[in-house]
């Protein structure tokens, strides 16, 4: 499942976890991922892999757009 998300500079994606594996690819801007107690900063053209059941969140360092890929399908996001 693919989905595109955008954050304004300073925006926060609250820390959470889910049973799905996730890859987030930065299409534009810069973002800091907080994954299992560590911070990883990425920019356009870079990606990060988040294993299933791993606590993670995000802070937008600039306006950005991310493309997230999940497996298996996230039924909880289909109607949002």
Q: Each residue of 43-64: pLDDT tens digit?
A: 999 999 999 999 999 999 999 9
64: number of Cβ within 10 Å: 22
Structure-block tokens of residue 35: 């994954």
In sequence order, what are the residues at sequence separation of 6 or more whose Cβ sits closer than 8 angstroms to the Cβ of residue 9? 29, 60, 61, 62, 63
Has residue 80 got a pLDDT over 90?
Answer: no
pLDDT 10s digits, 1-27: 999 999 999 999 999 999 999 999 999
Model confidence band, residue 79 (pLDDT cutoffs 50, 70, 90): confident
Which helix (H) or strand (E) segment holds residue 26: the answer is: strand 21-28
Which helix (H) or strand (E) segment holds residue 14: the answer is: strand 12-16
Please tell me the predicted confidence (pLDDT) of residue 49: 98
Distance CA 50, CA 19 (A): 10
């Amino acid at each position: 499942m693919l989905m595109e998300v955008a954050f304004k500079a300073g925006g926060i994606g609250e820390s959470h976890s889910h049973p799905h594996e996730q890859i987030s690819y930065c299409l534009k801007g810069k973002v800091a991922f907080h994954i299992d107690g560590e911070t990883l900063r990425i920019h356009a053209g870079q990606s990060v892999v988040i294993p299933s059941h791993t606590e993670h969140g995000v802070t937008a360092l600039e306006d950005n757009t991310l493309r997230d890929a999940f497996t298996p399908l996230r039924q909880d996001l289909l109607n949002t």
